């Protein structure tokens, strides 16, 4: 008997997968249930990357529960019913995008999301000298315009954060603080006047691609987590990059606008932790 998330890897990319896994980890620990997830080698439509990126838990069950009753969570905000009274032997479907599902078990989640050594070592080889300066990260999510799901192609769903948002966000930090810029459109970033100057360092961590053309985000995510603060995009990836920072010494800045008008009916009040600053 277990609670499964059959669609893990097929219900959003890495940042979404992290929310789904972490939330289910918290829910099953709270209710003293076993958690079942698809095996690491499962072929999925959204690049199932958790086991490539992280060490993960050895307490998981692998498999699917195709005949189990479905629990559909059609909301992004916290569900008390799911958290406090999740039944056994069901398959959960949803995005589950709030730390309220797992904050009580954050030590376990952080342990599960320990980066695989090859990823961490590569990041340190490239950026250790900058990390010694306690930098912040700044994440710009735009996407390859050749991919239909790129933010630049879906403004009604995922509007690109404005230059003004980032410029205002940077005012929350001293001009002396280095800024590591990370993006799936890093060449575009290098052309922006407001990102000129010696304090800006540009990450090359998203140069590797999945077979479908999407950028592999493992190295940038790891680098975000090693920074001392950050400016996130309306992106679950940089949300997690900020959340994984242990004891940040600088602020975490997040955008007020997360979705476009096509998704504005969703309640996102539980997404951004109260300790972060929303602009």
The CATH number of residue 132's host domain is: 3.40.50.11350
206 pLDDT higher than 70: no
Q: Using the 3D structure, point to which of 112, 130, 157 is the last residue of a domain.
A: 112
* Alpha-carbon distances of 141 from 137, 152, 215, 274, rounded to whole Å: 13, 9, 11, 23
* Alpha-carbon distances of 148 from 15, 154, 155, 183, rounded to whole Å: 18, 8, 12, 17
Q: Using the 3D structure, point to which of 51, 84, 112 is the last residue of a domain.
A: 112
User: 208-256 pLDDT, tens per residue?
Assistant: 767 666 778 999 999 999 999 999 999 999 999 999 999 899 999 999 9
Tokens of 179: 């800024």
170 and 270 fall within a common domain? yes
pLDDT at 12: 82
User: 127-159 pLDDT, tens per residue?
Assistant: 999 999 999 999 999 987 777 667 878 788 899
- Binned at pLDDT 50, 70 and 90, residue 173 comes out as very high
Residue 156 to residue 260: CA distance in whole angstroms: 4
Q: Using the 3D structure, point to which of 87, 112, 137 is the last residue of a domain.
A: 112
108 and 122 fall within a common domain? no
| Residue pointed to by tokens 């990450």 | 203
Looking at the 3D structure of the chain, how many domains does it have? 2
pLDDT at 149: 66
Non-local (6+) Cβ contacts of 88 within 8 A are: 1, 2, 3, 31, 33
Strands laid side by side in the 91-94 sheet: 61-62, 35-37, 3-4, 91-94, 70-73
> What is the extent of the structural domain holding 91?
3-112
| Residue pointed to by tokens 């315009």 | 145
151 and 202 fall within a common domain? yes
Averaged pLDDT, 260-264: 93
24 pLDDT higher than 70: yes
157 and 207 fall within a common domain? yes
Averaged pLDDT, 190-202: 96
* Alpha-carbon distances of 179 from 33, 225, 227, 231, 242, rounded to whole Å: 42, 14, 9, 9, 14
pLDDT at 154: 77
Residue 146 to residue 173: CA distance in whole angstroms: 35
43 pLDDT higher than 90: no
């Amino acid at each position: 008997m277990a609670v499964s998330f059959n669609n893990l890897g097929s219900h959003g990319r890495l940042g979404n997968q992290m929310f789904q896994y972490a939330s289910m980890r918290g829910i099953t620990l709270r209710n003293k249930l076993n958690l079942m997830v698809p095996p690491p080698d499962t072929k999925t439509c959204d690049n199932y990357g958790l086991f490539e990126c992280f060490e993960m838990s050895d307490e998981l069950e692998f498999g699917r529960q195709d005949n189990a009753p479905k629990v559909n969570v059609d909301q992004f905000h916290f569900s008390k019913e799911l958290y406090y009274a999740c039944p056994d032997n069901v398959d959960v479907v949803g995005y589950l995008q709030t730390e309220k599902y797992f904050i009580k078990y954050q030590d376990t989640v952080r342990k599960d999301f320990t980066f695989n050594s090859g990823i961490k070592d590569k990041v340190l080889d490239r950026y250790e000298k900058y990390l010694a300066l306690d930098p912040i990260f700044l994440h710009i999510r735009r996407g390859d315009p050749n991919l239909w799901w790129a933010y630049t192609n879906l403004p009604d769903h995922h509007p690109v954060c404005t230059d003004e948002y980032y410029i205002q966000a940077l005012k929350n930090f001293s001009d002396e603080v280095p800024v590591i810029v990370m993006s799936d459109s890093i060449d575009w970033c290098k052309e922006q006047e407001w990102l000129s100057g010696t304090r800006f360092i540009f990450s090359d961590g998203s140069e590797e691609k999945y077979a479908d053309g999407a950028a592999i985000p493992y190295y940038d995510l790891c680098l975000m987590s090693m920074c001392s603060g950050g400016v996130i995009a309306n992106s679950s990836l940089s949300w997690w990059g900020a959340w994984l920072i242990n004891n940040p010494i600088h602020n975490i800045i997040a955008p007020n606008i997360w979705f476009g008008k096509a998704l504005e009916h969703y309640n996102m009040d539980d997404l951004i932790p109260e300790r972060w600053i929303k602009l």
